[in-house]
Structure 1
């Protein structure tokens, strides 16, 4: 069972962009016992969340059984906390990880800096967006951002539209940059890409709730975990504005190869790490004097 779960909320349904208040419902002891027996590390906290979300005792019993059967807590609740917001997460959609909040923080800082530098609103893209958590939280933190998000998974696109629409953004369906409107080429200030980076042979080592209930396309990064990343870094310079930034997570032992891919594309590379979040983020920057839209 996952050791990551949303912060408590007393509301029974997801509401994008709304901070989640603590639960007021005391869970029945039997619910705590059932979850503990199923291997949930935070059985008491999860029981409180489920009890707060359930409208009836029968609904609570059904939710508890789904969680005990291994479904991600976020899928059972219908939401995940990310960046202090409650993000709708539907079954079959990649669950946003709390460690990705480190990437979010770096993206927010760079987005604010871009607005100060250019004197216009920041253009942001959430590539491989899943539920749209990163883009939604980014737009919430930035003032007047122009936000676009995209994913190849139809279920993710439907879910992301619920979240991203709440902050005035648009979601597109398709494969990486092919999904984006052409008018964004050469205009993106902040490009976050939550690419899959688990090597194919290691997907089977992931927790069951990830490999059984999340889409494989959101997890499997190819032989060395960097297949999708290389496609992103190769095309990113054509879409970034001068001085624009690409941010993505990678595994610690993959960071050197990821940096190599970034530099090969003509971007300046920086690695940022958070011991607290166990996160490694690579930031690629298009030099301010460059014109990435020229097709190089």
Structure 2
């Protein structure tokens, strides 16, 4: 049985967090207290959080799709809305008529993987997969390798250039959680993201779709017949994102989840005749 800290300790932490502007101070205090290994570590974590560091960086982990995912400082924090992207990806490898999964091992790629949370979650849902993940940020690659140890391979590099060429024409599910914040909107992001997450994981160019266009241009050559590309976008960008994917020669549709404020664009390649 765990021993709860003295109320004065908890209340002091809650007060410090609330004073720093943390809306969910009580919940955050419980997470810090359950994670820290000593009073000194507790104090250090409270100080870092009060200074504005993301809670996940302070804790060293994030809860995502039923998993506890390691998240190091300087690595993009997986958002809860991206759980919808994982669910949509899982649905693409399920036969609609029977509800059964494909008979061969699916090949999954987590492009722009950050911590590797999406790939790890999808592998957990699907069971055995051939999983590859990649990111251009060395810190993200190191973090993803910890999260995907024994689950998949993690490669460092820019988009498809990071992947083994043997994956060409074999990818069944291509997850690409690309940056989609327009450059002009980056200064408007919460300080937690703006100051502590890599800009390359946030900034999508003038209209937010620069990286998406690069992914769409190359994706058809990497997808297996009938394979799917799935990318998160914003509601206001959905129509342009849909047009971009269709312009790349893929059948495209969008899926939305009001509860998570999530919008996913899905492009599917042609099947073999």
Contact 1:24-1:52 at 8 Å conserved across structures? no
Q: Deviations over 1:16-57 (max 9, x none)?
A: xxxxxxx87446210011001001000000000001111111
- Tell me whether 1:143 sits opposite 2:121 in the alignment: no
What is aligned with 1:240? 223
Contact 1:126-1:150 at 8 Å conserved across structures? yes
Using the alignment, how far apart are the partners of 2:185 and 2:129 within structure 1?
Answer: 37
Q: Which of these residues, 244, 259, 271, is aligned with residue 242 of structure 2?
A: 259
Contact 1:149-1:169 at 8 Å conserved across structures? yes
What is aligned with 2:258? 275
What is aligned with 1:112? 94
Shift of 1:117: 7.2
Instruction: State the Cα RMSD in Å.
Output: 1.7
Shift of 1:253: 1.0
What is aligned with 2:117? 133
Shift of 1:112: 3.5
Distance change >3 Å, CA 130–CA 25, structure 1 → 2: farther
- Tell me whether 1:36 sits opposite 2:25 in the alignment: no
What is aligned with 1:67? 49
What is aligned with 2:144? 160
- Tell me whether 1:195 sits opposite 2:195 in the alignment: no
Shift of 1:119: 2.2
What is aligned with 1:231? 214
Using the alignment, how far apart are the partners of 1:36 and 1:151 within structure 2?
Answer: 35
Count of residues paired in the alignment: 268
Partner-residue secondary structure (3-state), 1:196:
coil
TM-score by length of 2: 0.95
Partner-residue secondary structure (3-state), 2:154:
strand
Distance change >3 Å, CA 288–CA 116, structure 1 → 2: farther
Shift of 1:116: 5.3
Shift of 1:108: 1.4
Runs of 4 or more, structure 1, over 6 Å off, are: none
Distance change >3 Å, CA 215–CA 252, structure 1 → 2: same
Distance change >3 Å, CA 113–CA 181, structure 1 → 2: farther
Q: Deviations over 1:206-240 (max 9, x none)?
A: 00000100000000000000000000001000000
Contact 1:197-1:221 at 8 Å conserved across structures? yes
Partner-residue secondary structure (3-state), 1:112:
coil
Shift of 1:111: 2.8
Using the alignment, how far apart are the partners of 1:252 and 1:28 within structure 2?
Answer: 39
Shift of 1:113: 3.7
Partner-residue secondary structure (3-state), 1:35:
helix
Contact 2:106-2:172 at 8 Å conserved across structures? yes
What is aligned with 2:269? 286
Using the alignment, how far apart are the partners of 1:117 and 1:143 within structure 2?
Answer: 10
Shift of 1:110: 1.5
Distance change >3 Å, CA 44–CA 242, structure 1 → 2: same
TM-score by length of 1: 0.87
Contact 2:94-2:102 at 8 Å conserved across structures? no
**Any unmatched runs of 5+ in structure 1?**
1-9, 11-22, 291-296
Using the alignment, how far apart are the partners of 2:43 and 2:170 within structure 1?
Answer: 50
